[in-house]
Amino acid sequence: MSSIRTLRTFLAVVRHGSFAAAGAEVGLTAAAVGLQMRSLEQDLNRPLFDRSARAVVLNTAGRQAVPRVEELIHRYEALAAGEETGELAGTVVMGALVSALMGAFADALWAIRQEHPRLEVKLFAGQSSAFADKVLNGELDAAVVMKSPRPLSASMVWTQLYSEPMVLIVPRRPHFPLPAQPQAILRDCPYIRFDRETWTGFLVKRVLRRAGVAVRDALELNSVEAIVATVRQGFGVSIVPKLANVDWRHDRELRVIAIPGVEEFRHVGLLERTQHSRMHFTTAIKDYFGAAAARSPSPRSLS
């Protein structure tokens, strides 16, 4: 009878489409993965793949097996983690925006870990768009990301946790003339742009369209924190989400300015598959933020 490890390897092959790539994920050689898949097919008395020299593709029986294997692994992990008794234990693998790790999400993890000491959370920092595919493929249990500008796969769900207003930030000691009016600042000053291929970059482009201003791009960066640091040094201005964990009011190096006639927010939430083995944990995260919102109607901010 095939083991849970073999079933996990099967799902890795499904995700990657090759024995070599699946082996790299689970720590086996391609030959060892191939032997496990042959053994699984023998146990089930049917082939699961159409094999070629370059790839392995699920056949009809293989496609039918996927949801059943996922359910078996889900039940096993729930049993091993003690979720049947309401206890959270074992390992959760998550992705998160750097800004989320520095703020409210870190608070949520701390609170949950205090209540469930047998729980281990492995965190990876990065961009929302990169995490979406990893969640869909099962490489991550969930991720804290901003709301996608595009429709998500029907097998994924995003739940809002908190929101951050989009604002204009300017240096207090610029290396260039700084006009008094926001529209003139955006039009005439060097502009530090958020990477336009990212989800936050799409949101920034929408803000600029609504403001009706053509900016003079000076730099393009893929990190809110890097943009804020560059503006602080006086090299340009930018539009960024007003991060909930930054003490904007007492910042000696930059000022935060509302954009006239434009009210946009970066909505940050939890992205997960509609069914997965760590739903008790993701429910605890959502409950934490739901309780926090009930205590304070306005988004968490230090400004």
- State pTM to two decimals: 0.71
Structural domains of the chain in order of their starting residue, each with its CATH number: 4-67 (1.10.10.10), 83-162+267-295 (3.40.190.10), 163-265 (3.40.190.10)
Give the single-character DSSP code of 146.
Answer: E
Residues 225-238 pLDDT 10s: 899 999 999 999 99
CB-count exposure of residue 286 (10 Å: 0-12, 13-18, 19+): middle
Query: 200-229: buried (b, 16+ CB within 10 Å) or exposed (e) per residue?
Result: bbbbbeebbeebebebeebeebebbeebbe
With the C-alpha atoms ordered 79, 84, 89, 93, is the resulting torsion angle positive or negative? positive
Question: Looking up tokens 């870190």, which residue turns up?
Answer: 106
Give the single-character DSSP code of 177.
Answer: -
Q: What percent of the chain has pLDDT over 90?
A: 48
Which two tokens mark 58?
Answer: 């699920």
pLDDT confidence of residue 127? 86
CB 240 within 8 A of CB 228: yes
pLDDT confidence of residue 106? 83
Mean pLDDT of the chain: 87
pLDDT confidence of residue 295? 65
The mean pLDDT of 109-130, rounded to a whole number, is 87
pLDDT confidence of residue 301? 39
Pairing assessment for the beta strands 190-194 and 119-125 based on DSSP bridges? unpaired
pLDDT at residue 96 above 60? yes
Least confident of 84-93, 146-155, 231-240: 84-93
Which two tokens mark 127?
Answer: 């961009």
pLDDT confidence of residue 194? 94
pLDDT confidence of residue 86? 57
pLDDT confidence of residue 303? 38
CB 91 within 8 A of CB 122: yes
Residues 16-60 pLDDT 10s: 888 998 898 888 899 999 999 999 999 999 999 988 767 788 999
Helix axes 4-16, 19-26, angle to 10 degrees: 130
pLDDT confidence of residue 129? 85
